[in-house]
Structures are given as C-alpha cells and as structure tokens.
C-alpha cells in the first residue's frame, strides 16, 4: 500500500506540542518556523491504528481497561518476528510512557542518593527523571571513534564509587541514531554483572532502523544476563503514537518483576484503553506502514546529510536508525546561544545540543520525520543562514 507522507497535516493549533509550544520554548510566535525538535513524526498514524481507535470511539465506553494478555501476545509476536527475541508475554507490563517506566525501574531498583549511569549525550528526560527521584546522575561520556559514538567502559569502570546501582542504555541511541553492535551490548551487560548493576535497555527507537539495517535487542545480545535486565520500550516512536502515552516494561527475571510489580501496584494505575488499542494495532497490523515510513525517513536523512554536510564546519553524524539527526557545528566556533539564535532566526527549530548532557555543546538535534517539502524548505533556510561562513 502507498502512504502519503508528503502532504502536511494541519497540525498548528491542534494541541501538537511540536507546533503549539514553539512560542513558549523558543520565544517566537512566527507561524513560519519549521519545528524540528519534539520527537514525534508530522505524519498520520497507520490506517489500522486509526481504525482501532475509531472502534473504541464507536463502542462509546471509556472506562477502565482490563485483560491485557492479547496485547502482550502482539508485543511478543512483534519482537520475535522483527527483532528475533522470543519473550514470554507474561514478562510484559504497561506504563504511561517509557519515561514513566524508567521511573518505575529507578524506584524499584535503587534508593535515594544512589548513582544512575547514563551515556551522554543522551535523551534529556533521563537526567530530569533521575534528579527528580533524588538519585545522582553519573555521566559516562560517549567517545567519538571514526565519527560514531562508542562507550568507554574502561573509563567508567575506573570512575565507579560503589554507589552506582543502575545503567541506562539507549539502544538505538538518541541522539544520532547509532545501532549498537551485539559485542558492545554484551560487553556492557558483562560490565553490569561485574558491578552488580541493573541494566535498563531503552529500546523505544527499535522500529526506526533504516531499510536493510538490523537491530539487536539487549536480551538477544546478552541472554546470560536476563536476571538484571529490564527493557523499556513502546510503539510510540516507530508508529508515531506518542500521544497514546503507553509504554512497555519487560522484565524476564521473576524476582525483578516482583519488585517492579510492587512499584506499579503502588501507583494504582491501569493502562490507557485507547493507547492499548493503538499499541495492538501498531504491532499487530501495521508492519507495511512501518516499512514505508522508515524508507521515507531514510531518504529524508540522505538528503539532509548531503546538503548540510556541504556547509563548511558542519557535520551530520552518520545515522542507522531514528529520525533524530545529531549535527556538529563546533567547526564554526560559535557559542551555543549564538548558534541557536541564528537557526531560530532562519525559522527552523531544532533541539539545542546542550539539553543532552556532556558532549552536547556546539550541536543541534534535528527531527527529520517531516514532509519532504517542509524538509527541503528547512534545508534551504539553514543554508541561507550560514552563507556568510561559506
Ligand atoms: C530514548 C527515549 N526514551 C523515552 C522517550 C520518551 O518516551 P515516552 O514519551 O513514552 O515517555 C524518548 C522520546 O524521545 C526517547 O528518545
């Protein structure tokens, strides 16, 4: 089936964070600004998802959700078919988003004052969540090797204080879209075992690999360490249903599951029934849409990288997955403020790199999941904004 990703949806003024929060965040209410920040797509969800939501609306019942087992079966089928992990549906729990799942694992597996490791630059909400829960952010800076991020486990090992309890692993990585090699994942899991750390694998971007690129779940790369692994993931990024606020928490180990069940029970919350309907339709019925959107995003990336890499002193990190391009402007020698001001002045709104922790300075993150005509316009505006340095 053909899908139209080129025609823009009328998103302004429809409670769309990426469009309707620009004024609050960037201080401009210019309706011409092209939003390339919040990590969702400007595209309509797959038809099966909209139909599933419509069926719920037609039922007219908006009460509590029960019997998640068929949804968990769809989750297990998707992971097995797409990513080669045969998980038991009984390991799956539901949360109100992946950050919420992250908080549940921190609550269950650490105490206030404990250290939670992150490999930065990385998704900014991790920092906020760790701090909000009274834990301590332990940043392990990623190192650049051959233009790609790598973890420096030796340096991390040398810096451990004994207060660390959890490692946060973002796979595929946001920002930059790196797919980790199975050997790197295994080395990280071995590291966690050596230091008795819980390993949280955030796989929310797993369904956004570029065509022909495979993704290895942490459970597949390190099956001997399932006893300390908690996977947090969702259909929200891959299928563009982040507004459903439905996350998955998958804990293969019964003891760990009991700990996390306690946290979830204490919260007294049940899954969002609309989110569950969308999740099931995503994993169960929307595989061809996923293929189509990944192809479209990969082409957006190809065009973006070719043109933006043409700007002297600017380089786009090579991506294998996600739609979140990580662009290094350090060659221009501008301050972070001047850089962002110039880009906003060009009517393009990316995320400032400083949001992502150590290593973020001098960078901007651009969301490439937008209609091609809008992308072309944004690229032309960026090129024009930097003509004086060409
Ligand atoms: C790595 C990562 N985890 C979690 C999230 C957010 O998940 P949720 O909206 O389900 O809380 C994002 C969003 O960009 C992300 O990139």
Q: Is the beta carbon of 39 within 6 A of some atom in ligand 1?
A: yes
Q: Is the beta carbon of 170 within 6 A of some atom in ligand 1?
A: yes
Q: Identify the pLDDT of residue 390.
A: 61
pLDDT tens-digit readout, 79-93: 999 999 999 999 999
Q: How far is the CA of 237 from the centre of ligand 1 (A)?
A: 8
Q: How far is the CA of 127 from the centre of ligand 1 (A)?
A: 12
* Helices 125-132, 98-109: inter-axial angle, 10-degree rounding: 40
Q: Is the beta carbon of 202 within 6 A of some atom in ligand 1?
A: yes
How far apart CA 229 and CA 221 sit, in angstroms, is 12
Q: How far is the CA of 98 from the centre of ligand 1 (A)?
A: 6
Q: Identify the pLDDT of residue 363.
A: 98
Overall CATH class of domain 62-285:
alpha beta
Q: Is the beta carbon of 174 within 6 A of some atom in ligand 1?
A: yes
pLDDT tens-digit readout, 289-339: 999 999 999 999 999 999 999 999 999 999 999 999 999 999 999 999 999
Q: How far is the CA of 45 from the centre of ligand 1 (A)?
A: 18
Q: Which of 255, 256, 240 is nearest to 201 (CA)?
A: 256
Q: Which residues contact 145 (CB under 8 A, 6 or more apart)?
A: none
Q: Is the beta carbon of 242 within 6 A of some atom in ligand 1?
A: yes
Domain-by-domain residue ranges, the chain? 17-46+287-389, 62-285
Query: For a substitution probing ligand 1, which of 40, 125, 238, 275 has the most ligand atoms within 8 Å of its CB?
Result: 125
Sort 216 into a burial class: Cβ within 10 Å, 0-12 / 13-18 / 19+: buried
Q: Identify the pLDDT of residue 122.
A: 98
How far apart CA 339 and CA 149 sit, in angstroms, is 23
From the CA of 97, give the closest atom in ligand 1: 10
Q: How far is the CA of 332 from the centre of ligand 1 (A)?
A: 30
CB 349 within 8 A of CB 26: yes
Q: How far is the CA of 131 from the centre of ligand 1 (A)?
A: 17
CATH number of the domain at 17-46+287-389, please?
3.90.1150.10
Q: Which residues contact 121 (CB under 8 A, 6 or more apart)?
A: 142, 175, 176, 326, 353, 356, 357, 358, 359, 360, 363
From the CA of 100, give the closest atom in ligand 1: 11
Q: Identify the pLDDT of residue 267.
A: 80
pTM beyond cutoff 0.85: yes
Closest residue CA from atom 9 of ligand 1: 97
Query: For a substitution probing ligand 1, which of 123, 178, 271 has the most ligand atoms within 8 Å of its CB?
Result: 123
Q: Identify the pLDDT of residue 329.
A: 97
Q: What number of CA atoms fall less than 13 Å from residue 366's CA on the CB side?
A: 28
SS3 category, 54: helix
Task: Report the run of H or E that residue 101 belongs to, with start and end.
Answer: helix 98-109
Q: Which residues contact 315 (CB under 8 A, 6 or more apart)?
A: 147, 309, 327, 328, 331
pLDDT tens-digit readout, 271-294: 999 999 999 999 999 999 999 999
CB 334 within 8 A of CB 313: no
Q: Is the beta carbon of 247 within 6 A of some atom in ligand 1?
A: yes
CB 251 within 8 A of CB 91: yes
From the CA of 236, give the closest atom in ligand 1: 10
Q: Is the beta carbon of 236 within 6 A of some atom in ligand 1?
A: yes
Q: Identify the pLDDT of residue 266.
A: 80
Q: How far is the CA of 225 from the centre of ligand 1 (A)?
A: 24
Which residue ranges in the chain fall short of pLDDT 70? Answer: 390
Query: For a substitution probing ligand 1, which of 97, 169, 204 has the most ligand atoms within 8 Å of its CB?
Result: 204
From the CA of 122, give the closest atom in ligand 1: 1
* Helices 336-345, 372-385: inter-axial angle, 10-degree rounding: 120
């Amino acid at each position: 089936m053909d899908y139209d990703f080129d025609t823009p949806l009328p998103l302004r003024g429809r409670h769309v964070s990426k469009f309707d929060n620009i004024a609050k965040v960037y201080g401009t209410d210019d309706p011409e600004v092209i939003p390339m920040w919040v990590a969702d797509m400007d595209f309509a969800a797959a038809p099966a998802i909209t139909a599933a939501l419509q069926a719920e609306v037609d039922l007219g019942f908006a009460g509590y959700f029960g019997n998640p087992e068929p949804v968990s079966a769809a989750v297990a089928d998707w992971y097995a078919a797409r990513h080669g992990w045969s998980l038991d549906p009984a390991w799956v729990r539901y949360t109100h988003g992946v950050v919420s799942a992250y908080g549940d694992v921190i609550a269950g597996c650490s105490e206030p004052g404990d250290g939670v490791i992150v490999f930065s630059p990385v998704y900014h909400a991790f920092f906020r969540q760790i701090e909000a829960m009274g834990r301590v952010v332990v940043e392990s800076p990623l190192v650049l090797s051959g233009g790609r991020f790598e973890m420096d486990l030796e340096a991390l090992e040398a810096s451990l204080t004994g207060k660390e309890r959890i490692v946060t692993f973002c796979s595929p990585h946001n920002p930059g879209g790196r797919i980790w090699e199975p050997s790197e994942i295994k080395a990280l899991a071995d590291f966690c075992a050596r230091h008795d750390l819980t390993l949280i694998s955030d796989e929310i971007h797993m369904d956004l690999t570029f065509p022909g690129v495979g993704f290895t779940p942490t459970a597949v790369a390190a099956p001997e360490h399932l006893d300390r692994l908690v996977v947090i993931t969702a259909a929200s990024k891959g299928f563009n249903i982040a507004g459903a606020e439905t996350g998955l928490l998958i804990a293969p180990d019964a003891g760990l599951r009991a700990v996390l069940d306690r946290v979830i029970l204490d919260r007294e919350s049940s899954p969002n029934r609309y989110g569950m309907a969308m999740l099931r339709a995503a994993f169960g019925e929307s595989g061809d849409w996923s293929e189509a959107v990944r192809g479209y995003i990969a082409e957006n990336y190809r065009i973006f990288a070719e043109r933006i890499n043409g700007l002297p002193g600017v380089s786009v990190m090579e991506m294998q997955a996600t739609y979140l391009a990580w662009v290094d402007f350090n060659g221009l020698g501008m301050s972070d403020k001047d850089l962002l001001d110039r880009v906003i002045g060009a009517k393009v709104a990316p995320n400032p790199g400083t949001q992502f922790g150590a290593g973020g300075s001098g960078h901007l993150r651009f969301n490439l999941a937008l209609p091609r005509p809008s992308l072309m316009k944004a690229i032309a505006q960026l090129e024009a904004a930097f003509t004086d340095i060409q």
